[in-house]
């Protein structure tokens, strides 16, 4: 075992840092407070991602045949870390390169690839993920948004909720129900967001502007060719996509960076001498590092070409633990940060508090760890 980054990996990280230093505006920190889904950051990201693409840094981890540089999972990790620490200047486009693109390549028709891949690689498109519904959150398989095939078109009726980026997205990766079979009755449609019959409502939130929405579908009609994969294949496809999605956000790096900022503020104020503050800070740092190592062990599995199993839930929960601890540390000892004194820490807080909810509730991860890692007998039904 070797816990050091290689020279090439260090150099790659440095390249990213140099790029960020050269391409983020001076007031970036204040600006990033807008949140990754805000109109301001989305507009910024269109420019920024194009610049990243120009120098081969938008999707360097994609295989060469997809137009990427063929870099490995470690480089993908480093890329995600540096972007996330910087406040995710790619906005919602991080999703495109993490999972939408790779999923398109694996399951898309030639037509779909021709239509959607190029805008992604040029940093031009913004997708949203239409999975959750008012009555189908943790129990995603109970989703009810209907798609009915008639005369070569799917007619969609129903409602999605919590959809990030929906207000500005051009395309929705939409889960619909095409038959009553719980999991095998779910079908993916790629739906242009300007299709008549789609209404988007932004939900006022604690986590910043533009992040969560309700999306209504009233007789929304798309051609059969908008179907992604076969009818009923959605569950298999999203299992693949979500594996990529969940590894996509290295929250523990931002949590650690936020913690370091908080400690720096305490030191500046002469308030970092008290033992209980130091103990809490050290506890938080330890949780961040525990999350980092748990996540790195998963990256290693990918490097080794092994399947990633339920241990990814363990890594994810370790991340929730560190996010929680750092959020609480800031609230307890640097409360001014959330009242305007540190846009960076406020940004972290707003992203940190969703760690246990977005892309699947923490309790569901715990159930997976209990059943599939510990192999505990299941609760009787």
Partner 1 sequence: MQLSLSEDQSQILGFLDGLTKPYASVPMHDHSLALTSGELDAALVENGFLDVMAEEELGPATAALVVEKLARLPFAVEAAASALVRRLIDPELPRPLCLVEEGQLRKPVRFLADGATVVVVGPSGVRSFTVSADLIGAPQEDTLYAYPVAFLTGLPDTLTTHDVDPAEITRAWRVALAAEAAGLLGAALQSVVTYVSERKQFGRHLATFQAIRHRLAEDQVVTNGVYWLAIRAAASGSQADAAMAALHAQEAAKRVTYDYHQFLGGMGMTLEHPLHLWTYRLKLLTAELGGRGANALAAADALWG
State which H helix or E strand residue 344 sits in: helix 343-352
C-beta atoms surrounding 242 within 10 Å: 19
CA nearest 329: which of 279, 275, 381? 279
* Contact (Cβ atoms closer than 8 angstroms) between residue 68 and residue 3: no
Distance, CA of 201 to CA of 212 (rounded, Å)? 9
Cα 137-328-257 angle, rounded to 5 deg: 95
* Contact (Cβ atoms closer than 8 angstroms) between residue 70 and residue 64: yes
Cα 191-88-133 angle, rounded to 5 deg: 35
* Contact (Cβ atoms closer than 8 angstroms) between residue 142 and residue 182: yes
The option from ligand FAD, partner 1, none interacting with 303 (CB < 5 to 8 A, set by class) reads none
Quick one: 98 or 163, whose CB is closer to ligand FAD? 163
Interface residue with ligand FAD, options 42, 103, 121, 164 (CB under 6 A): 164
* Contact (Cβ atoms closer than 8 angstroms) between residue 89 and residue 46: no
Return the C-alpha torsion angle 65, 67, 72, 75, nearest 10: 180
Quick one: 155 or 338, whose CB is closer to partner 1? 338
Quick one: 48 or 131, whose CB is closer to ligand FAD? 131
Q: Is 287 in the site for partner 1 (CB under 8 A)?
A: no
* Contact (Cβ atoms closer than 8 angstroms) between residue 87 and residue 347: yes
The option from partner 1, ligand FAD, none interacting with 274 (CB < 5 to 8 A, set by class) reads partner 1
Quick one: 164 or 171, whose CB is closer to ligand FAD? 164
Query: 219 by DSSP, 3-state: which?
Result: strand
Return the C-alpha torsion angle 307, 310, 315, 317, nearest 10: 160
Distance, CA of 233 to CA of 297 (rounded, Å)? 30
Quick one: 129 or 342, whose CB is closer to ligand FAD? 129
CA nearest 77: which of 22, 123, 165, 16? 16
Quick one: 155 or 366, whose CB is closer to partner 1? 366
Q: What residues numbered 340-379 form the site for ligand FAD, per CB under 6 A? A: 354, 357-361, 363-364, 367
The DSSP-derived string for 261-307 is HHHHHHHHTT---SHHHHHHHHHHHHHHHHHHHHHHHHHHHHHTTPP
Q: Is 248 in the site for ligand FAD (CB under 6 A)?
A: no
Q: Is 356 in the site for partner 1 (CB under 8 A)?
A: yes
Interface residue with partner 1, options 11, 114, 264, 279 (CB under 8 A): 279
Number of residues that bind partner 1 (CB under 8 A): 44
Q: Is 220 in the site for ligand FAD (CB under 6 A)?
A: no
C-beta atoms surrounding 22 within 10 Å: 8
Both tokens of 329, joined, read 């540390």
Quick one: 95 or 330, whose CB is closer to partner 1? 330
Least gap, CB of 100 to partner 1 (angstroms): 21
Q: What residues numbered 111-170 form the site for partner 1, per CB under 8 A? A: 132, 135, 137-139, 142, 161-162
Interface residue with partner 1, options 212, 255, 262, 287 (CB under 8 A): 212
Least gap, CB of 174 to partner 1 (angstroms): 18
Q: What residues numbered 336-355 form the site for partner 1, per CB under 8 A? A: 336, 338-341, 346, 349-350, 353-354
Interface residue with ligand FAD, options 12, 131, 333, 344 (CB under 6 A): 131
Helical pair 251-268 and 73-85, crossing angle rounded to 10 deg: 40
Q: Is 235 in the site for ligand FAD (CB under 6 A)?
A: no
Both tokens of 138, joined, read 């943790």
The option from partner 1, ligand FAD, none interacting with 248 (CB < 5 to 8 A, set by class) reads none
State which H helix or E strand residue 328 sits in: helix 311-333
Q: Is 162 in the site for ligand FAD (CB under 6 A)?
A: yes
Q: Is 366 in the site for partner 1 (CB under 8 A)?
A: yes
Binding mask 62-81 for partner 1 (x = CB under 8 A): --------------------
* Interface positions with ligand FAD (CB under 6 A): 128-132, 137-138, 162-164, 207, 211-212, 354, 357-361, 363-364, 367
* Interface positions with partner 1 (CB under 8 A): 132, 135, 137-139, 142, 161-162, 203-207, 211-212, 269, 274-277, 279-280, 324, 328, 331-333, 335-336, 338-341, 346, 349-350, 353-354, 356-357, 361-363, 366
């Amino acid at each position: 075992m070797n816990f050091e980054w290689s020279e090439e990996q260090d150099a790659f990280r440095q390249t990213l840092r140099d790029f960020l230093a050269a391409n983020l505006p001076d007031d970036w920190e204040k600006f990033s407070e807008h949140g990754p889904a805000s109109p301001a950051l989305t507009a910024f990201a269109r420019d920024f991602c194009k610049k990243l693409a120009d120098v081969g840094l938008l999707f360097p981890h994609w295989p060469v045949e997809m137009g990427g540089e063929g870099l490995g999972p470690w480089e993908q990790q480093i890329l995600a870390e540096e972007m996330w620490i910087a406040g995710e200047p790619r906005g919602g486009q991080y999703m495109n390169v993490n999972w939408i693109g790779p999923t398109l390549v694996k399951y898309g028709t030639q037509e779909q690839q021709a239509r959607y891949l190029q805008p992604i690689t040029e940093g031009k498109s913004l997708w949203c993920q239409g999975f959750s519904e008012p009555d189908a959150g943790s129990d995603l398989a109970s989703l009810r948004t209907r798609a009915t095939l008639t005369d070569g078109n799917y007619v969609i009726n129903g409602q999605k909720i919590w959809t990030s980026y929906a207000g500005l997205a051009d395309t929705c990766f939409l889960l619909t129900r095409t038959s009553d079979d719980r999991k095998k009755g779910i079908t993916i449609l790629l739906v242009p967001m300007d299709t008549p019959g789609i209404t988007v409502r932004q939900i006022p939130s604690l986590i910043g502007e533009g992040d969560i929405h309700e999306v209504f579908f009233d007789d929304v009609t798309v051609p059969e060719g908008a179907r992604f994969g076969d009818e009923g294949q959605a569950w298999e496809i999203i299992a693949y996509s979500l594996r990529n999605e969940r590894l996509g956000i290295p929250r523990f790096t931002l949590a650690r960076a936020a913690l370091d900022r908080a400690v720096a503020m305490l030191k500046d104020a002469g308030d970092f001498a008290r033992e209980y503050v130091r103990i809490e800070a050290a506890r938080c740092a330890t949780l961040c590092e525990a999350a980092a190592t748990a996540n790195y062990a998963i990256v290693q599995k990918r490097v080794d070409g092994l399947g990633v199993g339920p241990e990814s839930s363990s890594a994810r929960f370790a991340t929730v633990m560190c996010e929680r601890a750092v959020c609480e540390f800031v609230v307890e000892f640097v409360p001014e940060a959330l009242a305007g004194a540190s846009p960076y820490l406020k940004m972290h807080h707003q992203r940190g508090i969703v760690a246990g909810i977005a892309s699947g509730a923490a309790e569901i991860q715990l159930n997976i760890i209990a059943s599939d890692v510990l192999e505990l007998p299941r609760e009787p039904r």
